Structure formats: C-alpha cells, structure tokens
Homo-oligomer: A and B are copies of this chain.
Amino acid sequence: MTLSLTSSLWHDVEISTLFSAEAEIASVLRYETALAEAQAEIGLLNADAATAISNACSQFKPDLMLLQTAIARDGLAVPELIGQLRQALPQQYSDKLHFHATSQDAIDTTTILACGAALSIMELRLLGVVEQLATLSAQSGDVKQMARTRFQRALPITVAERLGAWVVSLRYSIEQLATLRSQCLMLQIGGPIGTDPSPWAEALARRLGLAAPTASWQTARGRIVQIGTWAAVVSGSLGKIGADIALMAQNEIAEVEIAGGGTSSAMTHKSNPVAAEILVALARYNATLIAGLHQSMVHEQERSGSAWTLEWIVLPQMLECTGAALRHTRDLFNRVKFR
C-alpha cells in the first residue's frame, strides 16, 4: 500500500511497527527459539537441539523474495519461513524445529505477542492522558461551565466534574487491562488440528510472558474479539471526549480554547478543532471495524482461512487506530485551555 497525504492522521508508527514484516519474522524466530527451549526443558528435545535452533534463529535472514511468493500461494508466511530456517540448521536438527507445532501455533502466538506490546504502549499513553487531565483539573478545575444534556443547557458544571467524567471511562479501560492480560494474552498451542496435548505449554508460555492455555483456542476466537473490543472502547471513549471538545469550542459556547487550531484555505479567521474531530472519526472507524472481528468468529471446521485472514486485516488496524487516537488526545490536551 502506498500512503495517502493524510494517512498520518490515522496511523501510528509505534503500533504499526509491531505488526511489520520485520517484527513478525523476528517474533516467529523468538517463538521457535522459545518452543525448542521449552521442549528441551521438559526433556522432549535434548539441549543441543535447542541450542542449535536458538543459534540458527539468532542469525537467520530470510529470503524475502521467496517468502513473498510463498505468501501469495499459501496465504501465510510460516510454512516457507520454517522451510528456509530448516535449511539454515545442521541437518540432524532439522526436524526438531517447529516440533509438534503448526503454522497457527506460531502465527496466533506472535499476533498475541504483538497485541501485548501494543497494549503496553497504549497503557502508557492512557496513563499519560489521565495525568494530563489531572493537571488540567488542578489548573482549571474550578472553572464553571454549563452542563448540556440532549444539546440543551442543563445545570452548571465545573471543569473538574467534566474532566472527571472523561477519566471514568479511561480508568475503566486501564483497569480492564489486567483481565485482558490474564485471559486473552494467551499462548496458542494445539498442533495441526488443535487437538495435540502440549506438555510444554506452561514452559513456553512462561518464556514468552503469556498466559498458558488449558486448551487450544484455535477456533475459539472470543479472545481476539475481546482485544479488539478493548481497543474500540478506548477509541470510543476518546471519541466522546473529541465530540465534547468540538462542541465546547463552538464560538458561541467557547468553553475551551485550542491553541494552534486548524486553518482553512478560504476562511482565514477560522481555528478548527481538528484533533477533536479526528478523535470522533477514529472512534467511528474502530466501531466499524469491530464488526469484522465478530464476523470472523464463524470460524468453520478446524481452521478457517477466510475467518483468520479477516482477523489479520482488522485487528492490527484497530490497535493502530486507537494508538493514533491516544496520540491525538495527548496532543490536544497539550493545547487546550478551559474557560
């Protein structure tokens, strides 16, 4: 994909990098190394094999041309990647690599690892926004404004109360992260058709910093939906803030002033609440995308290429969209003054 002029508005480099080709390859190598080490830990592989695999992974550079051809044919990268990696191994260890694993074990697990990293980035940004709101509340919390319900003046409200209502939803999402980490950031394991017992699951999960599964979730995609839902709830909460600020910034209401507002090509007197409006757009975009993750729950048989591909298209975008929304929020709160 080539990038449009305005695409920086809805992209987030830090999040998207986690899902880049480079990061995916590195993550598969990390997975294969940890798999071998975990299997060695429980005595399924001997230590030499694990060391050889670890060494090979640490030095491996894939043939990207072959990889791209294979993706077009296979619809995924792992079979070819493992094939290339096997050739980089001393032959006696070749069949110890990716032992009892299947592409889905590697792909789902590395997806979850990337999600976990994205959640950590967003947690920091969320905490930063909550802190900004605390500072703004300390500065201007006593300012009296007018609460409005159904677009009509209701009763007086302070800035502290208004910001407090925003914080309620952000804290809710921050608190949900613990649940998400323990229940959804889970190792995938199960072999070709999701039925293999995997005595190395705990050892592998520990190495990767993931929850250990009690069963394969390869066709049970509720956890993927929950991760996307978390992202959409965060961007939804930020969209609510954006809608509020755009309304507060109306000239006749003027409850907020935004420094460095957007300019217009035809009307030089204007100062547009651009970041606030973008927050609304991003909220509605994620609210649109989440339906795609739910559609992909209809994951037929023991592996659905259709449903799985749909997840790959949707999930990283949702996280990136929320990342971008958090970025715009931080930027916006650096420039607002309540009055």
Q: Mark A residues whose CB is within 8 Å of B.
A: 1-11, 13, 16-17, 19-22, 24-25, 67-68, 70-79, 82-83, 98, 101-103, 147-155, 157, 161, 164-165, 168-169, 172-173, 179, 191-195, 215-223, 225-226, 229, 232-233, 236-237, 239-240, 242-244, 246-247, 249-253, 260-267, 270-275, 277-278, 280-281, 283-292, 294-307, 309-310, 312-314, 316, 320
Asked if residues A302 and B154 are in contact (CB atoms below 8 Å), the reply is yes
Q: Across the interface, which residues of B come within 8 angstroms of A271, CB to CB? A: 152
- Distance in angstroms between the alpha carbons of A260 and B240 in the assembled complex: 29
Say how many copies of this protein the assembly contains.
4
Can you list 30 contacts pairing A with B, beta carbon distance less than 8 Å? A5-B67, A6-B77, A6-B309, A6-B312, A74-B274, A79-B264, A150-B305, A152-B271, A152-B272, A153-B251, A153-B252, A154-B302, A157-B193, A164-B195, A165-B194, A165-B219, A221-B236, A222-B233, A222-B237, A233-B294, A244-B301, A272-B305, A278-B305, A278-B309, A281-B307, A287-B291, A288-B288, A288-B291, A288-B292, A295-B295
Q: Across the interface, which residues of B come within 8 angstroms of A22, CB to CB? A: 2
Contact A72-B264, Cβ < 8 Å, known A150-B274, A219-B240, A313-B281: no
Q: Across the interface, which residues of B come within 8 angstroms of A288, CB to CB? A: 288-289, 291-292, 295, 314
Q: Across the interface, which residues of B come within 8 angstroms of A192, CB to CB? A: 147, 149, 154-155, 264, 266-267
Q: Across the interface, which residues of B come within 8 angstroms of A272, CB to CB? A: 74-75, 149-152, 305
Asked if residues A251 and B152 are in contact (CB atoms below 8 Å), the reply is yes
Contact A75-B274, Cβ < 8 Å, known A21-B4, A226-B229, A243-B298: yes
Contact A244-B155, Cβ < 8 Å, known A168-B220, A193-B147: no
